Amino acid sequence: MINQTFLMDKLKEAGFEFSQPNQLAERFDRYAEMLVEWNEKINLTAITAPDDIVIKHFVDSLLLLKAYDVPQNASMIDVGTGAGFPSVPVAMARNDIKLTLMDSLNKRINFLMELTNALGVNAACVHARAEEFGQKPEYREQFDVACARAVAHLRELSEYCLPFVRVGGAFVALKSVGLEQELEEANAAIGLLGGKVEDICRFTLPDGAERAIAVIRKIRPTPKKFPRPYGKIKKNPLNKA
């Protein structure tokens, strides 16, 4: 499916070194095969060319580990994970991470269950809406790291994700262009939700695309009224409330 040498070359160029590179490359090859196979049945991704999968899914996702030093044995929740990006590649590279994959579409959860089983990734796959499970005691402020690679505005993403993060942990958001404006518009909401922007890391993918990753530290508990129901989040963004 993918050119495994191409994958490992691009990861090396990005500064990654792995103890068992051949084994890891084979697992990423299986990931790509399953992604394309399942994509014919359910909508998972518009990116299906092998080299594009390598760069825009695998390398892109692993940049999270360059932006944030994930603690050993950390618990991580990927909110609205879709086809498993960014967290499944991260967990493949770091098998100490305790992963929870959350998505609102059950068909994607079925794919993720088969995927993680095939790849040997230890992950809980949860069919849920973030704004609902963010209020549940067994999920609320229970994770060291929440991550999302999504097109949603950082303001809304923060309301979905920060409630899952324990105080001292971090929400890591993978974004593309326009992050400065989003941060300006989201800053008040992030503070209200108990977060503080700690770092912004910028990367250039091998195809020249620009990436920015925001690291938001959880410095105090999220007020109990957040996250609000989906309709309120959509209709009344926090900085406009």
Across the chain, mean pLDDT equals 96
CA distances from 15 to 59, 139, 163, 199 (A): 11, 34, 32, 19
Q: Which range, of 111-125, 175-189, 204-218, averages the lowest pLDDT?
A: 175-189
**pLDDT (tens digit, 9 = 90+) per residue, 43-62?**
999 999 999 999 999 999 99
Computed from CA positions of residues 181, 187, 193, 194, in that sequence, does the dihedral angle turn out positive or negative? positive
Q: What is the predicted pLDDT for the residue at 17? A: 94
User: Can you give the residue ranges of every domain in the chain?
Assistant: 63-240
């929740």: which residue's tokens?
A: 77
Q: In what order do the strands lie in the sheet with 210-218?
A: 123-127, 98-103, 75-79, 143-149, 165-175, 210-218, 195-204
Q: What is the predicted pLDDT for the residue at 51? A: 98
Residue 27: pLDDT over 80? yes
Average pLDDT over residues 88-95: 97
The Cα 93–Cα 81 span in angstroms is: 17
What does the DSSP assignment read for 108-120?
HHHHHHHHHHHHT
* Cβ-Cβ contacts under 8 Å for 201 (sequence gap 6 or more): 63, 66, 67, 212, 213, 215
Q: What is the predicted pLDDT for the residue at 188? A: 96
**pLDDT (tens digit, 9 = 90+) per residue, 204-236?**
999 999 999 999 999 999 999 999 999 999 999
Residue 103: pLDDT over 50? yes
Residue 178: pLDDT over 90? no
**pLDDT (tens digit, 9 = 90+) per residue, 156-176?**
999 999 999 999 999 999 998
Residue 241: pLDDT over 60? no
Average pLDDT over residues 6-16: 96
Q: What is the predicted pLDDT for the residue at 176? A: 85
Q: What is the predicted pLDDT for the residue at 159? A: 98
Q: What is the largest CA-CA distance in the chain?
A: 52
- Supply angle C-alpha 129, 132, 136, rounded to 5: 125
CATH assignment of 63-240? 3.40.50.150
Q: What are the helix (H) ranges across the chain? A: 4-13, 21-39, 50-52, 60-62, 64-67, 87-93, 106-119, 130-133, 154-161, 179-192, 230-235
3-state secondary structure of 190: helix
Q: What is the predicted pLDDT for the residue at 221? A: 98
Q: What is the predicted pLDDT for the residue at 169? A: 98
The Cα 169–Cα 76 span in angstroms is: 10
Q: What is the predicted pLDDT for the residue at 240? A: 58
